[in-house]
Homo-oligomer: A and B are copies of this chain.
Amino acid sequence: MLNEKNVNLGKVRSCIRELYEYASKRKAEIGAENVFDFSIGNPSVPAPPEVLTALEDLVKNTNPVVLHGYTSAQGGYGVRKVLADYINRRFETRLDADCLYMTCGAAASLTITLNALVNRGDQVITFAPYFPEYKVFCEHAGAKLVAVQSEEKTFRIDFDKFEKALNVKTKAVIINSPNNPSGVVYGAETIRRLAETLTAFSEKRGSPVYLISDEPYRELVFDDGTEVPYVMNYYAHSLVCYSYSKSLSLPGERIGYIAVNNAMDEYKDVYAGICGAGRALGYVCAPALFQKLIERVYDKTSDINVYKFNRDKLCSALESYGFTVVKPDGAFYLFVKSPEADAAAFAERAKKYEILFVPGDDFGCKGYVRVAYCVAPETIGRALPAFEALAKSYNL
């Protein structure tokens, strides 16, 4: 007998990946410009020019044996030092290179962190709606994911529900702000209250709950005054899982990091657990060329104005057609209320208009769909009549 759990996981695929395959097929059939594909968080904005220049220079002017050789398992010292210094300047932390562990992107950051922290039977709390792979990652690590529903409409943390979910088995809490799929950003007040709640609970229980901040969308906030607090400034038992997939538009290259807060006494053990977990999962080192690239372009960001433009245009158009939307503070997803109770049926009907988006059910939140608006602005323009016709089909 094969490993049935993984066989089933491979057969089902994630709903997002499923739709990605459907989109590829449909685009081949009727032309890419006629498919309004809002299914996946694949950035439409190119990597910033500094990335392309640095890549060319690295490939052209570095000894290939060094450029493509193994690095230390935790990543080259150079890039880790540069990142620790950068985080310290930006967020007033006191990290050093040995707090940083380079990874193959956000998913690897999370699986490695979870396999470092949890034991079989532990629980990990997150807040719905949430990225559906959290469940897969937790279960592989031997833990159960407990999803606490967020407040209605605002999608902020419902602290009453959260406090009830904390128990003797709770090993960690994952937050994702800016959030995929709702676009919500947790402000300083939320993070402070979260830290207080965790501190009080950990003290009472006599063992820490770890706070894992999944931050691939950190740089994608659109409005003046929207700030994404740094969890390490609020809570000692915290880790940051970062990825350059969205900030530098390099999702296929799989490059990111884990930062371990050295304000907690046991941070060296946590870091060792990360090194061990990375080894056990088969991550020998993060891609070497892209480690060296990040060492040069760590503070650059793709042009996010496109996403802001898309957000504003899509939000106002959809509202004018009668849809109810949650205006996102960041990331590049729009959470839209389904006009019928069954969001999957809504997503299926949208397919008839060549609009592809993902039902919220997979994100642990029924009655909504996720529209990934990280597309070319022209796509938004061409898609609007289709959205309008979809609204009319519901008599909105």
Contact = CB atoms under 8 A, between A and B. Distances in A.
Interface in A49-75: 51-52, 55-56, 59-60, 63-65, 67-73
Nearest to A72: B21
A285 B6 contact: no
Contacts of A115: 3, 6
Contacts of A8: 272, 276
Contacts of A289: 252-253, 289
A42 B273 CA distance: 25
B116 A2 contact: yes
A269 B7 contact: yes
Interface in A219-260: 249-254
A11 B281 contact: no
A13 interface: yes
A252 B5 CA distance: 31
A231 to B, nearest CB: 19
Nearest to A243: B284
B275 A110 contact: no
A136 B280 contact: yes
A304 interface: no
A114 to B, nearest CB: 9
Contacts of A109: 282
- Please state the number of chain copies in the assembly: 2
Nearest to A6: B276
Interface string A181-199: 0000000000000000000
Contacts of A291: 252
A68 B250 contact: yes
Interface string A3-45: 1111111110110010011001000000000000000101111
A366 interface: no
B140 A281 contact: yes
A236 B81 CA distance: 49
B64 A249 contact: yes
Contact of A11 (B4, B13, B249, B272): B272
B65 A249 contact: yes
A152 to B, nearest CB: 31
Interface stretch (A100-108, A154-162, A308-316, A388-396): A100-108
A7 B112 CA distance: 12
A140 B114 CA distance: 13
A394 to B, nearest CB: 32
A46 B64 contact: yes
A8 B111 CA distance: 18
Given A137-B280, A276-B7, A65 B40 contact: no
A139 B280 contact: yes
Nearest to A112: B282
A2 B266 contact: yes
Contact of A252 (B55, B70, B117, B253): B70
Contacts of A286: 254
Contacts of A65: 43-46, 249
A91 to B, nearest CB: 25
Given A20-B72, A52-B59, A71-B252, A280 B9 contact: yes
Nearest to A107: B282
Contacts of A117: 2-3
Contact of A119 (B3, B60, B68, B254): B3
Contacts of A83: none
Interface in A353-375: none
Given A137-B282, A140-B280, A251-B288, 4 more contacts: A2-B273, A3-B118, A252-B289, A281-B282
13 contacts: A2-B266, A3-B273, A9-B279, A10-B276, A46-B63, A56-B60, A107-B284, A111-B280, A136-B279, A251-B284, A252-B291, A253-B288, A254-B287
